[in-house]
Structure 1
Amino acid sequence: MITVTAARKHYGSFLALDDVDIDIPSGSLTALLGPSGSGKSTLLRAIAGLEGLDGGTVTIDGRDVTAEPPQRRGIGFVFQHYAAFKHMTVRDNVAFGLTIRKRPKAEIAKKVDDLLEIVGLDGFQHRYPAQLSGGQRQRMALARALAVDPQVLLLDEPFGALDAKVRTDLRQWLRRLHDEVHVTTVLVTHDQEEALDVADRIAVLNHGRIEQVGDPVTLYERPANDFVMGFLGSVASLGGQLVRPHDIVLERDHAAALALDAKVADSPGVITATVERVVPLGFEVRVDLRADSGERFAAQITRRDAAELGLREGETIHARATSRSTVVDHDPALAI
C-alpha cells in the first residue's frame, strides 16, 4: 500500500500539488491521469523521492519514506525516454542493478534470462540498444526496473514517444505483465484510452488536486463532475447536458423521436439540428451537427445506422439521448 497524505508542492508561485491524499493498494495498477500541469508527474516523482514535498507524507507498506532517498524506497522507475547504456548489451543493461548490488553471477544470469523471457526479449540478450525498436527498448527498460525486485514500479509516460500502433501493443502487453508479476504499479499518462485499457484504478488530477479516484467503469459511467466526464472520454452538450457522443441517437421522424425520448429519465429532450459533416471513422461514423440554437455537437453512430439514415450535409435531423446516457453524478462520496 502506498499512502500519500496532504502532499503539497510549490515551484515558485506555481502550486503543483494542493494537499493531495491518495491510497494506492498493494498489487494494483493505478493510473494518474490528467492534462499537462495537473500534477500527475510531480505526484509520481514525490512517491519516488525524486521531488521533495513542501508538506505532507509518503508511506510505503506502512513505512514513512518522506525523508528517505529514492534508493532506499524499493522503487523501480521507467521514464518516457529511457537512458539505456549504449555500450552495453541487453543482458548487461538488465543486469546492471543486480551487478552493482554484487549479487552472485549465477543468480544474475538466471534472473536476467527469466525476465527477458517474461518481457518477450528472449534471444535478444546479445544485442545493443541501437539494434532494438522503440518498443523493445521500453521492454528492456521494464525488465531492468523489475530486476531488483522493487516493491513499487513507477512509469512516467513510458509509451509517450512511440507511435500509436506500438503504444497499443505495449499497453496490452503491460497489462499481461502486471497480471503475471503483481508488483504495485503507478502509471502516469495523459491518454484516457491508455488509462481505461490498462489500469485497475484511475486517479484524475486537475490543477494539483485529485478530482476522483475509482475503477474505470465507475469513472466513465458515474463521473464526479464535468471535468472528469470531459477528460475521461468524448462528450457532447445536448440541450445543456453533457452526454457521450455514442449515447446520442439520430432520428428522421420528429414524432418518433419524441415518443422514444419520453421513456428516458432526466432527458435533455429532442434537439432539432442540421447535419454539417458526416465523417467515417472505421467501424463508426461521426456526425457533426448544429442545433437550431446554434450549439454545435457531435454524435457517434454505427456504420449501419448511418447507411440506413442516408445522412447528407445540410439535412435536418432530430437528436435524442438514450437511456444509457452518462449523467454527471455529483455524489460527494465519488470525489476525493
Structure 2
Amino acid sequence: MISVKGVSKQFGDYVALDDVSLEVPDGSLTALLGPSGSGKSTLLRIIGGLETADSGSVEIHGVDATNVPPQRREIGFVFQHYAAFKHMTVRDNVAFGLTIRRKPKAEVAERVDRLLRIVGLAGYAKRYPNQLSGGQRQRMALARALAVEPRVLLLDEPFGALDAKVRTELREWLRRLHEEVHVTTLLVTHDQEEAMSIADDIAVMDNAHIEQVGNPRELYDNPSSAFVMGFLGEVSQLAGRLVRPHDIALGAESEDGAHEAMVSRVIHLGFEVRVELMLTSGEAVTAQITRTEADELELGQGDIVWLRAAGTTALHVDEQVPAAGTPEAVDAAEATQPSQS
C-alpha cells in the first residue's frame, strides 16, 4: 500500500499540493486524474522521491519513505518520454537496471526474456530503439521498469506522446499487463477515458487538492461536486442543475416539469444521436438519445420539443464548470495554473 498523509508542496508562491492525503491499495491500478496544474505529477514525484514534500509523509508498504532516496524505494518509473539508451538494443535496455545491480547473467537473461514475451517484444530483442514504433518503445520502457521487480510502478502520462489509436491499444494492453504482474501501480493522466477504462480507483485532483476518490462508476454516478461531474463527462445545464446529456429525455408534448426547447442541430453518431437544443431562456443544452428515439420523434432543425431530467445523476449549479474536453475547460486550466502539474 502507498499511504500519503498531509503532503504539501510549494514552488515559490505557487501551491502545488495543499494537505493532500491518499491511500493506494496493494496490487491496485489507481489513476491520478485532473487538469494541467492540478498537482498530480507533483504528487507522483513526491511518492517516487524525485521531489521533497514541504510537510507530510509517504509510506510504502508500511515503511516511512519520506526521506528515503528514490533508488531505495523499490519503485519503477515510466514517463511520457521514453529516455531509451539509443546505442543499446531492446534487450540491453530492458536489462540495464539488472546489470548495474550485478545480477547473475543467467538470471538477467531469463527475466528479460520473460518480460519481452509479456510485453510482446520477444521478436525485437536485437533491434535498437529507433527501429521501434512509439508504442513499442513505450512497452520497452515498461519492461525496463518492471525488470528490477519494483514494489510500486509510477506512470506519468506514459501514453501522452502517442496518437489516439495507439493510446487506446496501449491502455488496453496495460490493463492486461497489470492483471498479469499485479504490481501496485499509480498512473497520472488528464485523459478521462484512459482513467475510466483501466483504473480500479481514480483520485480526481484540482487546484492542489484531491476532490474525490472512488471507482469509475462511483465517480461517474455519484460525483461529489460540479467540478468532478464536469471533468468526468459531458454535462448540460437544465433548470439550475447539471445533468448528463444521456439523462435528458425528449418528448413531443408538454408535461409537468418539462422545459420547452428548439432543436438547433441533430448529429448522428451511429447508434446514438446527439441533439443540440436551445431553451426559451437562450441557454444551449445537449441531449444524447438512441437512433430509435430520434426516428420516433422525427427530429429536425427548428422543431419544438420538451425536455426533462430523466436520470439520477444531477447536481445543483453552485459554480460554473466547463464540460470536460471543451475548449473552455482546456483554456481555464492552462490559463489559471503554472507549468507544474
In the other structure, the counterpart of 2:308 is: 320
**CA drift at 1:129:** 0.8
Q: Distance in 1 between matches of 2:41 and 2:253?
A: 50
**CA drift at 1:270:** 1.2
Q: Distance in 2 between matches of 1:243 and 1:44?
A: 32
In the other structure, the counterpart of 1:133 is: 133
What per-residue deviation string (whole Å, max 9, x for no partner) do you get for residues 57-83 of structure 1? 111011111111110111000001111
In the other structure, the counterpart of 1:294 is: 282
2:296 aligned residue (301, 308, 311): 308
What per-residue deviation string (whole Å, max 9, x for no partner) do you get for residues 267-288 of structure 1? xx31111111112233322111
Greater relative contact order (Cα 8 A, min sep 6): structure 1 or 2? Answer: 2
Q: Distance in 1 between matches of 2:165 and 2:271?
A: 17
What per-residue deviation string (whole Å, max 9, x for no partner) do you get for residues 296-333 of structure 1? 110111222222222211211111122x331349xxxx
In the other structure, the counterpart of 1:56 is: 56
Question: Matched residue of 2:123: which SS?
Answer: coil
Q: Which deviates more from structure 2 when the two are superposed, residues 274-283 or residues 71-80? A: 274-283
Question: Matched residue of 1:311: which SS?
Answer: coil
Q: Distance in 2 between matches of 1:69 and 1:328?
A: 44
In the other structure, the counterpart of 1:332 is: none
In the other structure, the counterpart of 1:284 is: 272
In the other structure, the counterpart of 2:153 is: 153
Question: Matched residue of 2:302: which SS?
Answer: coil
**CA drift at 1:20:** 0.1
In the other structure, the counterpart of 2:187 is: 187
Letter in 1 for 2:132: L
**CA drift at 1:123:** 0.8
**Paired-residue identity, %:** 66
Q: Does 1:248 align with 2:235?
A: no
How do residues 191-230 of structure 1 correspond to structure 2 at under 5 angstroms? Answer: 191-230=191-230
Q: Distance in 2 between matches of 1:282 and 1:131?
A: 38
Q: Is the 8 A contact 1:4 1:20 kept in 2?
A: yes
How do residues 225-240 of structure 1 correspond to structure 2 at under 5 angstroms? Answer: 225-240=225-240
**CA drift at 1:294:** 1.1
User: Unmatched 5+ residue regions in structure 1?
Assistant: 259-268, 330-336
Q: Distance in 1 between matches of 2:228 and 2:286?
A: 19
In the other structure, the counterpart of 1:263 is: none
Letter in 2 for 1:327: A
Q: Distance in 1 between matches of 2:258 and 2:164?
A: 37
What per-residue deviation string (whole Å, max 9, x for no partner) do you get for residues 87-123 of structure 1? 1111111000001111111111110110011111111
Q: Does 1:172 align with 2:159?
A: no
Q: Is the 8 A contact 1:223 1:229 kept in 2?
A: yes
Q: Is the 8 A contact 1:222 1:328 kept in 2?
A: no
CA RMSD of aligned residues (A): 1.2
In the other structure, the counterpart of 1:333 is: none
Q: Distance in 2 between matches of 1:204 and 1:142?
A: 24
Q: Distance in 1 between matches of 2:215 and 2:247?
A: 21
User: Unmatched 5+ residue regions in structure 2?
Assistant: 317-341
Q: Distance in 2 between matches of 1:100 and 1:328?
A: 54
**CA drift at 1:150:** 0.3
**CA drift at 1:19:** 0.3
**CA drift at 1:254:** 1.9
Q: In the comparison of the two structures, how many residue pairs are matched? A: 316
Q: Is the 8 A contact 1:244 1:325 kept in 2?
A: no
Q: Is the 8 A contact 1:77 1:155 kept in 2?
A: yes
Q: Which deviates more from structure 2 when the two are superposed, residues 44-53 or residues 311-320? A: 311-320
In the other structure, the counterpart of 1:98 is: 98
In the other structure, the counterpart of 2:2 is: 2
What per-residue deviation string (whole Å, max 9, x for no partner) do you get for residues 108-149 of structure 1? 111011001111111111111111111111111100000000
Q: Distance in 2 between matches of 1:293 and 1:217?
A: 33
